[in-house]
């Protein structure tokens, strides 16, 4: 078991396709953890091993890997960059000690790191930026660095300066050490910075030292006095200030060739904290207790379910030591006792058994069936760690079995998919009664359906959720309805006069009788009401009818032939006769939408919402600086794919939430382009 000071738990995060998985692969190869470096195009990387990752050539879930480098024992969590999977990344970020933020050498893509950096900031997670794909034509290091500094301030500062760019990218200068490193087939060669870059490099070094001096008075004095600070002092400050999330160094790489990887490993080793030294977020967050002999407390940061070999609960050990055959208590699940089915370290899909794991480690505990992501596990102590709040889903599809299997089986299998990814959820829709699968984007939900088919052989069809239209009436009428049927013995006879009147929106269906003189005997009133209500479930356009008052005010009965059934039938016939005469209209649900976007996109959002028949109600600066909040009422039918449109129109930065507001008549009484009545 590695000493805690040698542990590094690092998440690799960054925008979609920035090159995280490729860089992780190069790092694992450099450290000797894999023999042959895999590639995205061949589907052979360690961390993109799920069939869905390979099929879509992208990470669709977090992947764990492990290696040793020098004195450190490094656990890597390769996070998916696609925005739909951000909740997955968010959950895992709460269980690591530092993050490598990988960006392409393209200033235009820096805005896509915003949500990630917000998350790192709120977790006080030490991080560094790797400007990657430096070998690509058009790679723009200086522009990307400037964009990072504009977005996040001057403490985001270059620690390396590239030598050459695109096809001539051949090395970098370490600005703290003022040494050049050029890439060779067998590693890096150390040398003096090229004279041609001297001026640029001097400027960049000054920027680095000045940024660092903000947190170190001695360095500040040295700079003011024009003294050259000793290299050891610069190095020491950099380690301390990065590991305390004060300075965010920027370095370069090209994962595809492995260029820059040895320096990245050194950076992780020196600048990133061990679990024991990670900055505390707040008093509520439990510090890692370095004493391996303490009683075990851990938190599940991710659940992985293999249909054959079972479940793995990726657990961050906060205190004490967990052994491979431990009996643990799931405090979140009402103190349920669970027995570990083995302890593993993951190398992508490969499981390497280990006997025990100490404080700070992230370890897979096998077959803890009742345990879910976010649960607190202990050796018995009643300690409950705070759970990370899940954000509300923004996209839904209705699902139906493709074959004749019952919905209970679908729900049961989907529950396993949700066990792995709790940012998905299942819901039964009101009114339409459809089974809805909800998530954080179209691709998120589509992949869950693919996974369901592959892992559990359950094929489902998906469709946009049906809109819960209603109908109402806009004019009053009275009808007479008689049901009379003679069959041999007993006949059937029911005769009612019904009045229909419109009522205010939201008042539902109300029923009364004003029968005098017993022309309809009292015992048949409930049957009449039932007949009315049942018939109102399907109005002339097929939707439930609402917001009207129905009065039974006259009728007749027959001593022998009248029954509850005959009055119920007569009432139903009366409803079907009356509704077309009452100028029926279809009502559509209107949702109240709040969109939050950087102010530069406010007009785009207003345009989008207006194009959706939205009524803009207000536009105010959001709590977050530089962001606006736009409030609008929009017909629900227009919102089905809104998250996709919003993200496309705002570089992925827009978010929204909604709630049902009211029902309004469909303009022109048209539903889905067809006349409603
Ligand atoms: N030229 C060049 N291409 C690269 C480099 N790194 C990655 N790529 C390519 O960029 C694409 C995306 O690489 P990935 O490693 O999957 O990127 P990622 O950030 O893990 O992507 P997601 O996890 O899906 O967000 C692949 O086609 C890689 O081959 C690089 O350093 N240079
Ligand atoms: Mg990836």
Shortest-distance atom of ligand 1 to CA 16? 25
Sign of the CA dihedral with 76 first, then 82, 88, and 90 last = positive
Q: How far is the CA of 39 from the centre of ligand 1 (A)?
A: 9
Exposure b/e, 71-104, CB count within 10 A at least 16 = b: ebbbbbbbbbbbbbbbbbbbbbbbbbbbbbbbbb
Between CA 319 and CA 377 the distance in angstroms is 11
pLDDT at 288: 77
Rounded mean pLDDT, 69-86: 95
pLDDT at 282: 60
Q: How far is the CA of 256 from the centre of ligand 1 (A)?
A: 8
Ligand number nearest to the C-alpha of 57:
1
Q: What is the mean pLDDT of the chain?
A: 93
Best of 13, 14, 21, 61 to mutate for ligand 1, by most ligand atoms within 8 A of CB?
A: 21
> Is pLDDT of 306 > 90?
no
pLDDT at 186: 78
**pLDDT tens digits along 411-453:** 889 999 999 999 999 999 988 899 999 999 999 999 999 999 9
347 Cα distance to chain centroid: 24
Residue 476 DSSP symbol: -
Ligand number nearest to the C-alpha of 63:
2
Q: Which of 569 and 387 is assigned the larger pLDDT?
A: 569
Ligand number nearest to the C-alpha of 447:
1
Beta carbon of 319 within 6 Å of any ligand 1 atom: no
Q: In this structure, which residue's CA is closest to atom 7 in ligand 1?
A: 19
Beta carbon of 443 within 6 Å of any ligand 1 atom: no
Rounded mean pLDDT, 219-226: 94
Domains, the chain, ordered by start? 4-277 (3.40.50.300), 297-378 (2.40.30.10), 395-463 (3.30.70.870), 471-582 (3.30.230.10), 587-675 (3.30.70.240)
Strand partners, 311: 305
> Is pLDDT of 677 > 50?
no
CA distances 548 to 496, 503, 579, 639, 667, Å, are: 18, 5, 11, 28, 20
Tokens coding 499: 């009045």
Interior CA angle at 329 toward 326 and 335, to 5°?
A: 160
**pLDDT tens digits along 147-159:** 999 999 999 999 9
Between CA 98 and CA 84 the distance in angstroms is 22
Lowest mean pLDDT segment, chosen from 62-76, 132-146, 378-392, 525-539: 378-392
CA distances 168 to 36, 182, 191, Å, are: 25, 11, 18
Between CA 657 and CA 631 the distance in angstroms is 10
Q: How far is the CA of 89 from the centre of ligand 1 (A)?
A: 18
Q: In this structure, which residue's CA is closest to atom 14 in ligand 1?
A: 19
Beta carbon of 59 within 6 Å of any ligand 1 atom: yes
Beta carbon of 132 within 6 Å of any ligand 1 atom: yes
Between CA 96 and CA 91 the distance in angstroms is 10
Beta carbon of 81 within 6 Å of any ligand 1 atom: yes
pLDDT at 673: 44
Ligand number nearest to the C-alpha of 82:
1
* Residue 395 half-sphere exposure toward CB, CA atoms < 13 A: 23
End-to-end CA distance of the chain: 73
pLDDT at 281: 67
pLDDT at 676: 43
Q: In this structure, which residue's CA is closest to atom 10 in ligand 1?
A: 19
Ligand number nearest to the C-alpha of 85:
1
pLDDT band (50, 70, 90) for residue 79 = very high
Q: How far is the CA of 437 from the centre of ligand 2 (A)?
A: 25
Question: For a pLDDT cut of 70, what percent of the chain falls above it?
Answer: 97
Rounded mean pLDDT, 561-577: 96
Tokens coding 565: 């059934």
Single out the residue of 149, 145, 87, 151 nearest to residue 119, CA to CA: 87
> Is pLDDT of 543 > 80?
yes
Q: Is the separation of the CB atoms in 403 and 320 below 8 Å?
A: no
Best of 15, 22, 81, 88 to mutate for ligand 1, by most ligand atoms within 8 A of CB?
A: 22
pLDDT at 396: 95
Q: How far is the CA of 572 from the centre of ligand 2 (A)?
A: 60
Query: Kind of pairing, strands 548-556 and 584-598?
Result: unpaired
Q: Which of 105 and 402 is assigned the larger pLDDT?
A: 105
Beta carbon of 53 within 6 Å of any ligand 1 atom: no
Q: In this structure, which residue's CA is closest to atom 26 in ligand 1?
A: 40
Ligand number nearest to the C-alpha of 261:
1
Q: How far is the CA of 76 from the centre of ligand 1 (A)?
A: 17
pLDDT at 675: 46
Interior CA angle at 541 toward 540 and 542, to 5°?
A: 95
Best of 12, 15, 16, 19 to mutate for ligand 1, by most ligand atoms within 8 A of CB?
A: 19
Best of 17, 79, 144, 264 to mutate for ligand 1, by most ligand atoms within 8 A of CB?
A: 17
Single out the residue of 360, 366, 412, 421 nearest to residue 390, CA to CA: 421
Q: How far is the CA of 586 from the centre of ligand 1 (A)?
A: 50
**pLDDT tens digits along 452-467:** 999 998 999 999 999 9
Q: In this structure, which residue's CA is closest to atom 2 in ligand 1?
A: 133
Tokens coding 567: 């009055």
Beta carbon of 254 within 6 Å of any ligand 1 atom: yes
> Is pLDDT of 626 > 60?
yes
Shortest-distance atom of ligand 1 to CA 59? 23
Rounded mean pLDDT, 499-508: 96
Q: How far is the CA of 20 from the centre of ligand 1 (A)?
A: 6
Beta carbon of 56 within 6 Å of any ligand 1 atom: no
Rounded mean pLDDT, 192-201: 94
Between CA 581 and CA 75 the distance in angstroms is 72
Q: What is the DSSP string of 533-547?
A: HHHHTS-TTSSPB-S
Q: Is the separation of the CB atoms in 533 and 510 below 8 Å?
A: no
Phi, psi of 599 (to 5 degrees): -55, -25
Question: For a pLDDT cut of 90, what percent of the chain falls above it?
Answer: 86
Beta carbon of 40 within 6 Å of any ligand 1 atom: yes
Shortest-distance atom of ligand 1 to CA 57? 16
pLDDT at 532: 98
């Amino acid at each position: 078991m590695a000493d805690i000071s040698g542990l590094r738990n690092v998440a690799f995060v960054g925008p979609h396709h920035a090159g995280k998985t490729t860089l992780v692969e190069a790092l694992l190869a450099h450290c000797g953890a894999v023999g042959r470096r895999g590639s995205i195009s061949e589907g052979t990387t360690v961390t993109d091993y799920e069939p869905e990752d390979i099929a879509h050539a992208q990470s669709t879930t977090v992947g764990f890997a492990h290696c040793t480098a020098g004195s450190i024992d490094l656990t890597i969590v390769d996070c998916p960059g696609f925005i739909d999977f951000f909740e997955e990344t968010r959950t895992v970020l709460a269980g690591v000690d530092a993050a490598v933020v990988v960006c392409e050498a393209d200033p235009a893509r820096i805005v896509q790191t915003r949500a990630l950096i917000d998350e790192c900031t709120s977790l006080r997670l030490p991080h560094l930026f790797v400007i990657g794909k430096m070998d690509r034509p058009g790679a723009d290091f200086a522009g990307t660095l400037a964009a990072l500094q504009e977005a996040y301030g001057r403490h985001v500062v270059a620690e390396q300066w590239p030598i050459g760019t695109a096809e001539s990218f051949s090395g970098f200068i370490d600005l703290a050490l003022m040494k050049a490193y050029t890439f060779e087939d067998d590693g890096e060669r150390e040398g003096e910075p090229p004279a041609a870059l001297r001026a640029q490099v001097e400027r960049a070094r000054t920027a680095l030292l000045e940024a660092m001096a903000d947190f170190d008075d001695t360095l500040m004095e040295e700079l003011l006095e024009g003294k050259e600070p000793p290299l050891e002092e610069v190095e020491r400050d950099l380690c301390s200030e990065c590991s305390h999330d004060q300075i965010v160094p920027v370095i370069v790489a090209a994962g595809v060739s492995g260029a820059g990887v040895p320096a990245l490993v050194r950076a992780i080793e020196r600048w990133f904290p061990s679990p024991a030294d990670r900055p505390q977020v707040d008093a509520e967050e439990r510090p890692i207790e370095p004493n391996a002999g303490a009683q075990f407390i851990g938190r599940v940061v991710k659940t992985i379910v293999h249909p054959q070999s079972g479940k793995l609960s990726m657990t961050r050990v906060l205190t004490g030591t967990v052994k491979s055959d431990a009996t643990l208590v799931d405090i979140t699940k009402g103190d349920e006792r669970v027995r570990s089915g083995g302890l593993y370290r993951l190398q992508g899909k490969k499981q390497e058994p280990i006997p025990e794991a100490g404080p700070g480690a992230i370890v897979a505990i096998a077959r803890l069936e009742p345990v879910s992501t976010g649960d607190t596990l202990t050796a018995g102590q009643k300690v409950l760690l705070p759970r990370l709040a899940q954000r509300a889903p923004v996209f839904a599809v209705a699902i139906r079995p493709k074959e004749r299997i019952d919905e209970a089986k679908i729900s049961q299998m989907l529950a396993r998919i949700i066990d792995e990814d709790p940012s998905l959820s299942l819901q039964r829709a009101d009114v339409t009664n459809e089974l809805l699968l909800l998530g954080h984007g179209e691709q998120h939900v589509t992949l869950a359906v693919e996974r369901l088919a592959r892992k559990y052989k359950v094929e489902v069809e998906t469709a946009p959720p049906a809109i819960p239209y209603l109908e109402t009436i806009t004019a009053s009428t009275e009808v007479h309805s008689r049901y009379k049927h003679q069959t041999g013995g007993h006949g059937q006879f029911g005769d009612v006069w019904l009045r229909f009147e419109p009522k205010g929106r939201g008042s539902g269906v109300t029923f009364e009788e004003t029968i005098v003189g017993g022309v309809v005997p009292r015992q048949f009133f409930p049957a009449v009401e039932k007949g009315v209500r049942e018939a109102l479930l399907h109005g002339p356009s097929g939707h439930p009818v609402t917001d009207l008052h129905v009065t039974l005010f006259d009728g007749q009965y027959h001593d022998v032939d009248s029954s509850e059934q005959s009055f119920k039938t007569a009432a139903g016939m009366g409803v079907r006769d009356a509704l077309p005469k009452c100028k029926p209209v279809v009502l559509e649900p209107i949702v109240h939408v709040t969109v939050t976007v950087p102010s530069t996109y406010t007009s785009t959002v207003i345009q989008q919402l207006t194009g959706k028949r939205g009524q803009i109600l207000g536009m105010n600066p959001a709590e977050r600086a530089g962001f606006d909040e736009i409030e609008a009422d929009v017909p629900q039918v227009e919102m089905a794919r809104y998250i996709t449109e919003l993200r496309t129109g705002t570089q992925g930065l827009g978010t929204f939430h909604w709630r049902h507001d009211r029902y309004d008549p469909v303009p022109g009484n048209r539903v889905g382009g067809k006349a409603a009545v």
